[in-house]
Amino acid sequence: MSSLLYSLGRWAFGARKLVLGAWLLLLVLLGAGAGLFSQGTENNFTIPGTESQEALDSLATTFPQISGASGQVVVVTKDGLSVSDPAVVADITTAVADLGKVHQVAGAVSPFDSTVTGSVSSNDRAALISIQFDGDMTEVSERTVEDIRHVVDNLRESLPAGSTATLGGEVFAAAIPEIGISEGLGVIVALIVLIFTFGSFVAAGMPLINALLGVGVSALAIMGVTAFAPIPSTTLMLALMLGLAVGIDYALFIIARHTEQLARGMEARESAARAVATAGSAVVFAGLTVIIALIGLFVAGIPFLTIMGIGAAGSVAVAVLISLTLVPAMLGFAGDRLRPKTGSRGERRALKRAAGREARAAARSGERVPAEQNTPAAEAHSPADHPAGPPPNRFFLGWVRAVTRFPLVTIIVIVLGLGAAALPALHLRLALPDASTQAPSSEARQTFDSITENFGAGFTGPLIVTGTIVKSTDPLKLMADMAEEIRGLDGVESVPLATPNESADTGIIQVIPTGGPNSPETQELVAEIRSLHDHFEDKYGVSLSVTGYTAMAIDVSARLGEALLPFGILVVGLSLVLLTMVFRSLWVPIKATLGYLLSVGVSFGVVAAVFELGWGAEFFNLHSTGPVMSFMPILLMGVLFGLAMDYEVFLVARMREEYVHGATARQAIERGFTGSAKVVTAAAIIMFAVFAAFVPEGDTSIKPIALGLAVGVFVDAFIVRMMLVPAVLALLGDRAWYMPRWLDRILPSFDVEGEGMQHEIAMRDWPEPGNDDALVGADLRPGGTGFAPFGISVRPGQTLLVDGPPQAVTTTLLTLTGRRTLQDGLLKVAGLALPTRAALVRRRAGFANMPRMSREGLERLLSERPRILALDGVDRLDPAGRAALRARLERAQAEAEGRGEPLTLILGVEDLDLAADVLPPTARIVRASLVARATTESEVRA
């Protein structure tokens, strides 16, 4: 990965105009597509398979006039005037008739209709007009909404002075999130932090340009997709919030590494390439964790949540791609302007850090010395080239020493403190938003409050109980009897309507709860009616279902609550596996995952305290308290997981790097912390500011998510990662880096610090500049520790003869062709350093076990034109087989010579005499014998 990113960064630096032009062209094309084809986002939350959704789908056929979306007009007269006044009744009747003529309106019901009860308030000062549409919320056009608003405006003007008419209901309560001034404050804070971090306006502006261009591409892409599929409105706001935050942070990590390397005198293009290879590897890992967690939202089985996850994941993916390409391109435009001036503060710090590392290396005689010292691999970690973090400073050094001085005390205090902060999460309730969460100035909120005040909270969220009554001989009496039973249930305010449809095969009962749509009483009522399903079926022969917008919202919340545990298990399991791959340790991923759970708990606790208990509600511009958006917990867990792993990688990877290069466990903690804490602090402050900026004026759906993420980032970065993690590692000591050998072998490795790239650069001119050997190696011992190390130097077209015990020979051939990891020594194959470029080596070097290889298989292998061909066990062929192989190899070498690509052979044998039967008479042979390890210091070499 790091080698690929190195090449990408170097190319983007040189092709900077092309890279910038390509991103700008993509932005223009997506903008044109969105402008021409966008259908807008929607606020319709449904879950196929729930009782309420299935019942509503059935009503679309049997009772279409009540299956669509609904709206309400509430008329309130002035003091002293009755709503039953003839003039008011006439105005309302005219408005009802006009509403019935609007396109897409299935019907408008007058509060004075003889078939309706309860639509006139008990104080005779308010009346409700019910509007039923012939489609769901997504199908109601903007023109229909405007026509209805025009009718209500006329009604408002015709009513006596002092009277009001307001419009509300599910269609008119939908609020599309908008970007406000407060969101821009987050960008301003980010700019200030970047200026302090880099000390340069040019460097500080790059992350912002990177993030803004990235979110522009993401937002326009999402708007374009609305032409093909419905997209929840929250998806766009979530994608903007995440894309802006990670786009700034990812660019920050890469640019910070680049400026450090420039301060050490590295050439600008080389520095940009190495920054993308090292910091960019960590960016890829961090981005992948966020993307996987967001896409993992599909486990909930909820379509709109899956769409939100995919949209947000796409925004993060764009942030990763643009950071890996546009950032090095911008570094190319900047050139040496980002290099600290001679004698500047940045340069002095870099030189001081380098001198400190050299002094520590010289004084490390009593410490563990890495085995690769004085080799090209060791040179990759020299002070001049090693991409260490910012220079140590007294503040962060004092910080890490303070939290690790008494690690057990630090751990206990933090765990107890965060546990206490998470306790309010026990009060967290989930629901879908209704008009009560909107600003008091909105008409939908005014309608909601007016209905609640004059009729009761239940009128804002009526329930519909429906069932098939085709077997009934007296449908009207049947509906009246069932309505009477439901009327007697606890939590029922009234039952204003109970009627069969025109064909008398389906009946509906409208139930007004005593509580509001999101109240616990209404949830209990829905559960109780559903619990009586068998009773109604046995007594009346009717299978009843509960539906309506309120029931659907309850079902959505219940399904999301059920999905929280499996999603949590997925995220925690993913965390353990990914971090084990990165850090090659068991304890590090365990403490990282437990720390993540603490951060999530505190986030839930703060959200519950503010939105449910009302603590500091005015400070957060909260219009009302109550349940939070149903998908907040699962979405917050997914996003915070990726961000937590981001900080974990950037901090702990440096600590591991120091440890494996010879530092003690405590030294590794201090050096790794001081080397990365400054950049992580800047990144966390920026992330916090961006999320927090969406809280004051944020959409009611986004507000709790933004607050939870802001709190989660702050707690995870500054308390969990920068306090709890060093304390735990200090308590564990060397045990923190323990990894069972068997697990180390089976888990793939993820090089987030670019060590593979560093190794490849160090091996670039080894053993000497311009070397073009097909195979060159030193101190190789692929057969195991029981064999003496050997070295090889094989020119293109020569034959390497490897002899020794069969199993050791096979292992050696597999290693030389990149099919087994190189454990000891230095090796380049076809100019590619192993093990870094093993995948590419496998494409250029073929391998065959000859006793098991058929003639057709060998022909297929040769048809791929390998530059290096390793044949194992050639001496175990019969004489005829050896003769045939010899002839085929002579022909293959002749064909390769004709192409100008000499074929290099590697023959693995146990019996050298029999191997001679395979060798062409003109073969130029290099021999490597695998023998038992010598008892003296001398080595057996070719």
Q: pLDDT digit string (tens) for 364-386? A: 433 333 333 344 444 444 433 44
Report the C-alpha gap between 913 and 876 in whole angstroms.
11
Lowest mean pLDDT among 355-359, 754-758, 832-836, 908-912: 355-359
Compute the chain's Rg from CA coordinates.
36
**Exposed, middle or buried: residue 287 (CB in 10 Å: 0-12, 13-18, 19+)?**
buried
Report the C-alpha gap between 795 and 772 in whole angstroms.
7
Residue 354: predicted pLDDT: 47
Name 846's bridge partners: 869
- Six-digit token pair at 278? 């090292």
* pLDDT tens by residue, 852-883: 888 888 899 998 899 999 999 988 888 888 88
Name 356's bridge partners: none
Residue 808's CB: how many other CB atoms inside 10 A? 21
Residue 210: predicted pLDDT: 92
- Six-digit token pair at 405? 């001085």
Q: Is the dihedral of CA 105, 110, 115, 120 positive or negative?
A: positive
Most confident of 604-618, 718-732, 813-827: 718-732
Residue 625: predicted pLDDT: 78
Residues 6+ apart with CB under 8 A from 182: 693, 694, 695, 696, 697, 698
Residue 883 φ/ψ, nearest 5 degrees:
-65, -45
Report the C-alpha gap between 525 and 515 in whole angstroms.
9
Report the C-alpha gap between 867 and 235 in whole angstroms.
51
Report the C-alpha gap between 750 and 87 in whole angstroms.
78
- Please report how many Cα atoms fall inside a 13 Å half-sphere around the Cα of residue 683, on the Cβ side: 28
Confidence check: pLDDT of 615 > 90: no
Q: SS3 of 150, please?
A: helix
Segment 378-406 shows an average pLDDT of: 65
Sequential DSSP letters for 466-478: EEE-TT-S-HHHH
Q: Is 773:897 a contact under the CB 8 Å cutoff?
A: no
Residue 410: predicted pLDDT: 95
Q: In this prediction, what percent of the chain has a pLDDT beyond 70?
A: 88
Residue 785: predicted pLDDT: 63
Q: What does the buried/exposed string (b/e) look like for 858-897 if buried means 16 or more CB atoms within 10 Å of the residue's CB?
A: beebbeeebbbbbbbbbbbbeeebbeebbeebeebbeebe
Closest Cα to residue 298, out of 311, 286, 285, 279?
311
Q: Is 638:297 a contact under the CB 8 Å cutoff?
A: yes
Segment 97-126 shows an average pLDDT of: 85
Could you say which DSSP state residue 101 is in?
Answer: T
Q: In this prediction, what percent of the chain has a pLDDT beyond 90?
A: 19
Residue 264's CB: how many other CB atoms inside 10 A? 20
Report the C-alpha gap between 11 and 643 in whole angstroms.
29
Q: How confident is the model at residue 111 (pLDDT cuts 50, 70, 90)?
A: confident
Confidence check: pLDDT of 297 > 80: no
Segment 94-118 shows an average pLDDT of: 85
Report the C-alpha gap between 382 and 743 in whole angstroms.
30
* pLDDT tens by residue, 625-656: 778 877 788 888 878 887 787 788 888 887 88
Residue 512's CB: how many other CB atoms inside 10 A? 20
Report the C-alpha gap between 236 and 168 in whole angstroms.
25
* pLDDT tens by residue, 449-507: 888 888 888 888 889 898 888 888 888 888 889 999 999 899 998 888 888 887 888 88
Residue 642: predicted pLDDT: 77
Residue 823 φ/ψ, nearest 5 degrees:
-100, -40
Using the structure block, give the residue that is written with the tokens 């309120």: 550
**Alpha carbon of 455 to those of 86, 433, 597: distances in Å?**
21, 21, 44
Residue 293: predicted pLDDT: 78
Confidence check: pLDDT of 585 > 80: yes
Residue 496 φ/ψ, nearest 5 degrees:
-75, -20
Q: SS3 of 570, please?
A: helix
> Quick one: residue 852, left, alpha or beta (phi over 0 = left, psi -120 to 50 = alpha)?
alpha
**Alpha carbon of 823 to those of 370, 377, 781: distances in Å?**
14, 13, 8
Q: Is 802:908 a contact under the CB 8 Å cutoff?
A: yes
**Exposed, middle or buried: residue 924 (CB in 10 Å: 0-12, 13-18, 19+)?**
exposed
Residue 662: predicted pLDDT: 77
**Alpha carbon of 197 to those of 280, 346, 529, 572: distances in Å?**
19, 11, 61, 33
More confident residue, 313 or 471: 313
Residue 462: predicted pLDDT: 86
Report the C-alpha gap between 342 and 348 in whole angstroms.
9
Average pLDDT over all residues of the chain: 82
Lowest mean pLDDT among 62-71, 179-188, 300-309, 701-710: 179-188
pTM of the model: 0.73
Residue 87's CB: how many other CB atoms inside 10 A? 11
Greatest C-alpha distance within the chain: 119
Residue 6: predicted pLDDT: 85
* pLDDT tens by residue, 216-273: 999 899 888 888 877 877 788 788 888 888 888 889 889 988 888 888 888 999 899 9
Element (H, E) at 848: strand 845-849
